Structure 1
């Protein structure tokens, strides 16, 4: 029966009409007639499904039209309409009907020219583009179109290159002045510090708000040579992140950046979710427009061939150096980067201000005279609790002494749990409490 059900040969309609008595048919003819009847029935069902499908499609289109009309009624009442460039392309019919007169495109230097054009209609009278063409460009999916046909150049940048009238903001409201000096005049000709950034407090537990640790740990190729990782740099950055957590900085105040996806995966492996919950880890080109109080940067690039393809891009260098608000700490092979003209200027500024070296100088908040040099991840064992290697010796409310090494966090020991035997006497017979002190 299974064999017969899988066969496709069927009786023709002429043969079926010629049958006088079904009971006179042989078994093979019965099966062929069965398949004809089955195909005829399936054809009727398909016709019905097609009709229902057409009805559904018409109803769906009608519903979409009504929803668009509903959105249009709401949007016409609004003074300001906000959307992404993708949303502008998706709802281009509504935009044409809204007839907006003024269009403002934020981060316009990172938006493809075609996407910018989709936001405008015939009724548009004024387009305002805000952005920074010296930071990341828009990314095109097809490399050939980006490099050979300039698809990665935004309308914003193209207009600047033909000397179109523009206004440049000269005050920066983000970076500590020590960090901002890396950008001026190497990237921006003029960049003044707003008074608000002059009030930033110095980063706790470290000698400088800005430092580049010069190391030449070799990188490793992964994913069949498509990406790179540097485990030594990753371990150093993770230990530095732990150190800042011990200085009473919230995880949300710390971001780790790297230049390669391979290093990103390497960092994730070294950072358990429970310990590092709230710490953001990103690849640099995905962090455009973002900022944080403390930025830890792993440059990864260190190889015998001394190639620095990725870190030669001026736009990327600009993003790398301008994400931090209060503290920027970087580890990488700075001698190799020094062969890139822009990096060479940045390194010269770092050397003049003594913000570059083989070791990072940490100091204990409780004992400021105690300083610790760290150049590798293993060196952080000298400051196990973020202070120094002296015992804490803080007298607790229970009368015992803190058994931890010197630590700047929980200075009043309100969260500390004393694990010594409880000294309480419970009764006149001299019975002692059997629990631990806390």
Structure 2
């Protein structure tokens, strides 16, 4: 047992001999950096030894989600992680002097922080979460992270909606420092930022991130330096195709098919009006989605208005054709009545008048000859009217009906050609 006791004693001596000293603790390092007490110089002044030297601030932005794109208010809501890196020339040390310490976390309020903000930011202050500590490296490089539910303004181009691709800028710049005081740059390149964002992105909604682009603008003695992150994202159009484009195309096909409905049944006009009302409902839904500030109508709005216009013209044409057919029937009925009236009068006169020389002839048989003659005359009159009606049906001009049929045929051809050309134009513009 004596060897074990000896080893235990040596271990206790070793532990006691390796007690932390001021050179191997964070406290000693912070004391060396003069960060154990409040130092107003470190928080108030830009940390450079030569004031003519600009401070380089490196910005990296990662997208963890595209939450919402509001077309009416022209805003984009994203979940972003922003990493800012700059150098403090007064906070550096040699790691070998402090037992190899190569990184230390210090409070955010104890050092100077660049006043870099986002110009397009429209979110409230509660949506920004700054890390309470900063990471400090031996060379004096400070690194801070910010997590933000960013709502930024973006000029959306909805001309090709819903097959549109949007490019939104997120611009970083200093609010109080010019380009000779603070310069902006990026630590990671745009391809790496895009790949990391696509890998860790949680949600994209109806949008798909294509790429992140970085643009630098050098500042002047008056203007601040600018760093622009351009987000290029493409909309997923499947939902809008199912809700708008396919139903409108189906309504057009139904309207074309309605030309084969017989006008005599009276269902053609009511069917076309129903189709027109259905298109107006889709127009009201589209109005709530798209902004009213567009100078030019988006393609889907042109599509809806064009379909509404051609179906509306089709309804007017159906009303005109129905009117002409009814007018033709009314004119034929009036002519038939006008032609039948003299015959009726003549038959009645013949029925009640006696023929010449009736006094010299023998009297009719004693079986009520007046009633028998009246029946014969009525039968003759009925047969004559029926023959005349058939003659009029076969030989009447029917000018208005032929005019209605000609109008319907010409309009159908023009309707089909114009609708096909319009849909082809939309497909070419969209695709």
TM-score by length of 2: 0.21
Higher relative contact order (CA 8 A, sep 6+): 2
Q: Greater helix share, 1 or 2?
A: 2
Q: Greater strand share, 1 or 2?
A: 2
